[in-house]
Structure 1
Amino acid sequence: MTSPLLDPSRVSTPPSDAEGALREEVARLRQETERLHLLLETAAQVTWSTNPARDALTPISPSWTAFTGQTAEQMRNQGWLLALHPDDRAGALAAWQRAKAGTQLFATRYRLRRVDGAYVWMLARGLPVLGADGCVREWVGTCVDIQAQALGEERAEFLARASELFASSLDASATLASLANLSVSALADWCIVDMLHPDGHFERVQVVAADPSHAPLAATVQRLTPVPQERPVYPPAVALATGRSTLVPEVTDAEMQAVAQDAHHLETMRRVGMRSLLTVPLMARGHILGALTFLVTTSSRRYRDEDLRFAQELANVAALAVDNARLLQGARDAIRLRDEFLSVASHELKTPLTPLSLKLQALSRAVKSHPDSPLAPVIEAHVETGHRQVRRLTELMNDLLDVSRISAGTFRLQREEVDVAEVVREVATMFAPRFALEHCEFQVEAPGAVRGCFDRARLAQVLDHLLDNALKYGAGTPVSVRLVADGPVARLTVRDGGIGVSPEQRPRLFERYGRAVSERHYGGLGLGLYLTRTIVEAEGGRVSLDSSLGEGATFMVELPLTRP
């Protein structure tokens, strides 16, 4: 039997071995702590902790001091807030106080000032470390650099706001003014907009400084001419002449001397105090429209490649808006010139029609004075054809003149007490021979009297256009006109059984020069229904169309018989 004194399991470990094991455990803990510190330093730009007894931040690594330049002493008594952007301090302090009050996660975003003076967006997060008694022993946290993410969000929002502003105006000057004012609020201390006009001349159209006190200096800068030279070196001139961008992260006096166009230009640039410069071209559809120049003059910010890319993206949006505004203005100018031409042409064409009509009338009287002449019927037929064509030309000229009046805003109605039924019968009587000639069954239904206050001539013009339309597109099919009085409204309906109109073509019919068919097969200027709509709406009514392709068309005019 073995003595218990000799049992190995009963032999205790020598004290020296226990101490060695403890030292090994402490060494492992230190290594693990150092490893955790390294991981933390890798994951975050700044680490921090607080001592609730002192209510001050104490970096657990030199990262806070290295990043901000603040010492531990400067951070006491909420001194750490001074390292935050002034606009972010209140929000950060409120988030910190809420977290402390509820012993919950501290999380917020703010701009932290780097030791070089530049602000960087940080995501700050912190957690309480509790002691054995459940009380907060300390707070530990990190600040992670989210500058790229925040900048991307800001710029996306900026571009959306810029696009909205550009879309709100189709005036090129207003677009450029919006661009300059928007830019100084987020991108630069100064924004300069130079334009290359369609006629080839250059103009500095906008100069905006963030500081209102620089308005006189901005006026001086605007008077400078960015005329490109044969080999331009001045950044706006380079963009206007070649379409190339320029990035100067740090502007030196030597560089200003190198690009200055003259002594006055150099003196002005020195007064502005450029520190960093960025110029991008405004280009659309392969054409250079202008140039944008952004200047930093007051802060430590310096433009980099990512700023150049963003500025070019903004310039692309602005250039598209400017190009659209120019295209719209060009279209308006073309329409104005066209209307002026049509007005002049209408007057000039009407001038010879009057004596021609008088000659035809004289010839008609001469023929009637010799009824026994064998040529009398032939000549009378030719004279009637001439009369008909002169009337047709007169109507076309009158339509063109009406369009010119509408465009110029001089289209007026001369209202009087009118019997609408009487007007309908008169116009129908004039059209009856034409329908008979085309072998169209023509029916007119109108009550004894439908009275209202209208422009009699314009009312007759409306029915004239509708019947002419029915005769043109419904030739050989029945055509009917019906007038009814429905309380305070008169309803005039013109129906034909002609070619009809497809649903997608209906809206175009009432527009100026609108047509649903080719002008090669059907004549006219495409103005009749446009003038019909204009006259009816001016009288306070409305006109509508019910039609399907191949099933004829029904036009309905509603006119108010009483007026307020």
Structure 2
Amino acid sequence: MTSPAEEPGRGAMMPSEGEAALREELAQLRQEAGRLRQLLEIAAQVTWTDSPHKGLVPLSASWMAFTGQTPEQLRDKGWLQALHPDDRERTRVASERARAENQPFLARYRLRRADGAYVWMLARGAPIRAPDGTVREWVGTCVDIQAQALGEERAAFLARASELFASSLDASATLASLANLSVSALADWCIVDVLHPDGHFERVQVVAADPSHSALAATVQRLTPVPRERPVYPPAVALATGRSTLVPELTDALMEAVAQDADHLATMRAVGIRSLLTVPLLARGHILGALTFLVTTSGRRYGDEDLHFAQELANLAGLAVDNARLLQGARDAIRLRDEFLSVASHELKTPLTPLSLKLQALSRAVKAHPDSPLVPVIEAHVETGHRQVRRLTELMNDLLDVSRIGAGTFRLQREAVDVAEVVREVAARFAPRFALEHCDFRVEAPEPVRGSFDRARLAQVLDHLLDNALKYGAGTPVSVGLVVDGPMARITVRDGGIGISPEQQPRLFERYGRAVSERHYGGLGLGLYLTRTIVEAEGGSVSVDSRQGEGATFEVALPLTRP
């Protein structure tokens, strides 16, 4: 019987089977490695490997294909030169920190393609260790995140644009902000053309990213985008028809086709336009202007996504410009109204003067014939006439004051004043009117209470408050009080009339503000507005405490001392 070792050929078979198994295992590993490499290349635009040993060239065929760099250009961290200049330093620091700590590397940067355009990449790298724990090589990927980064940039840009538009209600400032914000972020040049409400066109803003182009920018601004009957120049198309224009690649032949004249063509050539995008500024169905963005220096070319974004930006700008124009229109209308009120007040006061003189003459004539039976009747009519003239004069003066406030010419003439004396004088003037209405009227004013005020304006404040108390007091008792509270003088006017609901009180001191219907109570709604204006100009404040049906208390606080 022979042993297995002695069997013919038995010993020779063992190594062959082992080699076959090893070869099969290696083939499977190569197949798996190939499959993983294919998956990696599908998942990432760029893959790379790098040795930690100095002087060795990184192995990265996909990097070189993407960036156009040569193996020699990759030596000594030459790969950093393919990054956007603004991203190089922070990427270098992050890479060196990861290598020093033998930790994974993660960074976002803009990588230059072979055609010169920059693409946002998310770069990841990891060390591969030898059995002894040392780093044998680094491997990594670069994944294209251009769409994500562009979306983030544009969302932030629109948010910033919205803030700028909201911060100004001036159309010119809005368009200037838009042009300066757009340059560099969206374009090398930004041109803003405006269609004014009167129908004429104006080029209001031309901004170039390169400050050395300021003279050329001035030349571009002098070009007027007057639309022809069938316009072809993109800004003219937007201004005339409201249509957008997208030119991904602007050729010289196309410039010749759209140029309005020889000077225009020469200027476009001097600018060196490579890609162009024009969108209209629209609001409420009206064309307000046009935005034009130009690419002149980079490999960037405008596409449909850029057009969509530019239209979003133009919509925001159009709304801001429209709001600014509406506000300016409202201001102009208010200015014209105030001018009319001023002129009307002067004109209406003109016949009041001779009318007042005639009433005075009639009063003197009546006194010259005291025995006439018509004296009581005439005197009553004369007094009524005087009262109505005074009322009309007060209304005219209120209108004049409103126009002065609007024009910024409202002034105070301060002097040493005894506030208590002014309170008693005004109260004495109102006492007959309260007596006529059978209204109990009380005045409490210590003396003296001295300060520096405009005496006539202070009397005007009391006039308005007492007039209100008489009008809305509904025959209830009215009281006027003056007290000194530290450095302040406090004047209160209290009635027990119809009162004021809480929701009406905030607008009570506004111009033309009313808490009641004008059909039941007369007046222009200016008394409390002028009261607030005068009191605040004196450095004080006015407030009201009231409940509907429970009367009202107005308080005026005035400083007795000034810095």
TM surpasses 0.5 = yes
Q: Is the 8 A contact 2:57 2:72 kept in 1?
A: no
- Provide the residue aligned with 2:21 in structure 1: 21
- 2:548 and 2:98 map into 1 onto residues whose CA distance is 72
Say whether 1:327 aligns with 2:326. yes
What is the Cα deviation at residue 453 of structure 1?
Answer: 2.1
Letter in 2 for 1:378: V
- 2:130 and 2:333 map into 1 onto residues whose CA distance is 82
Count, aligned residues: 561
- 1:55 and 1:155 map into 2 onto residues whose CA distance is 41
- Provide the residue aligned with 1:540 in structure 2: 539
- 1:278 and 1:345 map into 2 onto residues whose CA distance is 53
- Provide the residue aligned with 1:433 in structure 2: 432
Question: Structure 1 residues 11 and 552, CA, compared in 2 at 3 Å: closer, same or farther?
Answer: farther
Q: Is the 8 A contact 1:172 1:321 kept in 2?
A: yes
DSSP 3-state at the match of 1:503: coil
- 1:48 and 1:346 map into 2 onto residues whose CA distance is 85
Q: Which range moved further: 436-445 or 134-143? A: 436-445
Letter in 2 for 1:47: T
- Provide the residue aligned with 2:469 in structure 1: 470
Question: Structure 1 residues 489 and 54, CA, compared in 2 at 3 Å: closer, same or farther?
Answer: closer
What is the Cα deviation at residue 263 of structure 1?
Answer: 1.7
- Provide the residue aligned with 2:32 in structure 1: 32
Question: Structure 1 residues 137 and 440, CA, compared in 2 at 3 Å: closer, same or farther?
Answer: same
- Provide the residue aligned with 1:300 in structure 2: 299
Provide, for residues 19-47 of structure 1, a one-character-per-residue CA deviation record: whole Å limited to 9, x for no partner.
33222222211211111011101111000
Q: Is the 8 A contact 1:49 1:57 kept in 2?
A: no
What is the Cα deviation at residue 486 of structure 1?
Answer: 2.5
Question: Structure 1 residues 11 and 57, CA, compared in 2 at 3 Å: closer, same or farther?
Answer: closer
What is the Cα deviation at residue 365 of structure 1?
Answer: 2.5
Provide, for residues 291-346 of structure 1, a one-character-per-residue CA deviation record: whole Å limited to 9, x for no partner.
00001111111011111111111111211221121112111111111111111111
- Provide the residue aligned with 2:497 in structure 1: 498
What is the Cα deviation at residue 408 of structure 1?
Answer: 2.2
- 1:296 and 1:127 map into 2 onto residues whose CA distance is 38
Say whether 1:110 aligns with 2:109. yes
Letter in 2 for 1:52: P
- 1:55 and 1:139 map into 2 onto residues whose CA distance is 15
Question: Structure 1 residues 355 and 133, CA, compared in 2 at 3 Å: closer, same or farther?
Answer: same
Provide, for residues 529-558 of structure 1, a one-character-per-residue CA deviation record: whole Å limited to 9, x for no partner.
111112112222221111222222111111
Q: Compute the RMSD of aligned alpha carbons.
A: 2.1
Question: Structure 1 residues 6 and 480, CA, compared in 2 at 3 Å: closer, same or farther?
Answer: farther
Q: Is the 8 A contact 2:476 2:497 kept in 1?
A: yes
- 1:521 and 1:233 map into 2 onto residues whose CA distance is 64
Unaligned stretches of 5+ residues in structure 2? none
- Provide the residue aligned with 1:355 in structure 2: 354
- Provide the residue aligned with 1:122 in structure 2: 121
Q: Is the 8 A contact 1:363 1:383 kept in 2?
A: yes
What is the Cα deviation at residue 471 of structure 1?
Answer: 1.3
- 1:128 and 1:15 map into 2 onto residues whose CA distance is 37
What is the Cα deviation at residue 185 of structure 1?
Answer: 2.4
DSSP 3-state at the match of 2:73: coil
Say whether 1:44 aligns with 2:20. no
What is the Cα deviation at residue 4 of structure 1?
Answer: 8.1
- 1:5 and 1:185 map into 2 onto residues whose CA distance is 84
For residues 396-475 of structure 1, the aligned pairs below 5 Å read 396-475=395-474
What is the Cα deviation at residue 414 of structure 1?
Answer: 2.1
- Provide the residue aligned with 1:252 in structure 2: 251
- Provide the residue aligned with 2:166 in structure 1: 167
What is the Cα deviation at residue 3 of structure 1?
Answer: 9.1
Q: Which range moved further: 538-547 or 111-120? A: 538-547
DSSP 3-state at the match of 2:246: strand
Letter in 2 for 1:58: P
What is the Cα deviation at residue 58 of structure 1?
Answer: 2.7
Q: Is the 8 A contact 1:56 1:75 kept in 2?
A: no
Q: Which range moved further: 495-504 or 209-218? A: 495-504
Question: Structure 1 residues 3 and 129, CA, compared in 2 at 3 Å: closer, same or farther?
Answer: closer
- 2:282 and 2:520 map into 1 onto residues whose CA distance is 44
Q: Is the 8 A contact 2:474 2:498 kept in 1?
A: no
Q: Is the 8 A contact 2:476 2:496 kept in 1?
A: yes
- Provide the residue aligned with 2:188 in structure 1: 189
- 1:534 and 1:473 map into 2 onto residues whose CA distance is 22
What is the Cα deviation at residue 416 of structure 1?
Answer: 2.2
Q: Is the 8 A contact 2:171 2:324 kept in 1?
A: yes
Identity of aligned residues (%): 83
Question: Structure 1 residues 55 and 379, CA, compared in 2 at 3 Å: closer, same or farther?
Answer: farther
Provide, for residues 38-77 of structure 1, a one-character-per-residue CA deviation record: whole Å limited to 9, x for no partner.
11011110001111224655335x3111111112232111
What is the Cα deviation at residue 437 of structure 1?
Answer: 2.4
Provide, for residues 366-399 of structure 1, a one-character-per-residue CA deviation record: whole Å limited to 9, x for no partner.
3333344443333322222221111100000011
- 2:233 and 2:71 map into 1 onto residues whose CA distance is 48
Question: Structure 1 residues 129 and 5, CA, compared in 2 at 3 Å: closer, same or farther?
Answer: closer
Letter in 2 for 1:21: A
What is the Cα deviation at residue 189 of structure 1?
Answer: 1.1
Letter in 2 for 1:37: R
Q: Is the 8 A contact 2:126 2:138 kept in 1?
A: yes
- Provide the residue aligned with 1:64 in structure 2: 63
Q: Which range moved further: 498-507 or 276-285? A: 498-507
- 1:462 and 1:524 map into 2 onto residues whose CA distance is 16
- 1:122 and 1:56 map into 2 onto residues whose CA distance is 25
What is the Cα deviation at residue 213 of structure 1?
Answer: 1.8
Q: Is the 8 A contact 1:473 1:499 kept in 2?
A: yes
- 1:48 and 1:549 map into 2 onto residues whose CA distance is 81
- 1:185 and 1:121 map into 2 onto residues whose CA distance is 17
Letter in 1 for 2:20: G
Letter in 1 for 2:344: A
DSSP 3-state at the match of 1:524: coil
- Provide the residue aligned with 1:222 in structure 2: 221
TM-score by length of 2: 0.95
- 1:66 and 1:485 map into 2 onto residues whose CA distance is 88
Question: Structure 1 residues 465 and 57, CA, compared in 2 at 3 Å: closer, same or farther?
Answer: farther
Q: Which range moved further: 448-457 or 311-320? A: 448-457
- 2:261 and 2:53 map into 1 onto residues whose CA distance is 65
- Provide the residue aligned with 1:523 in structure 2: 522
- 1:451 and 1:355 map into 2 onto residues whose CA distance is 38
What is the Cα deviation at residue 561 of structure 1?
Answer: 2.0
What is the Cα deviation at residue 506 of structure 1?
Answer: 2.0
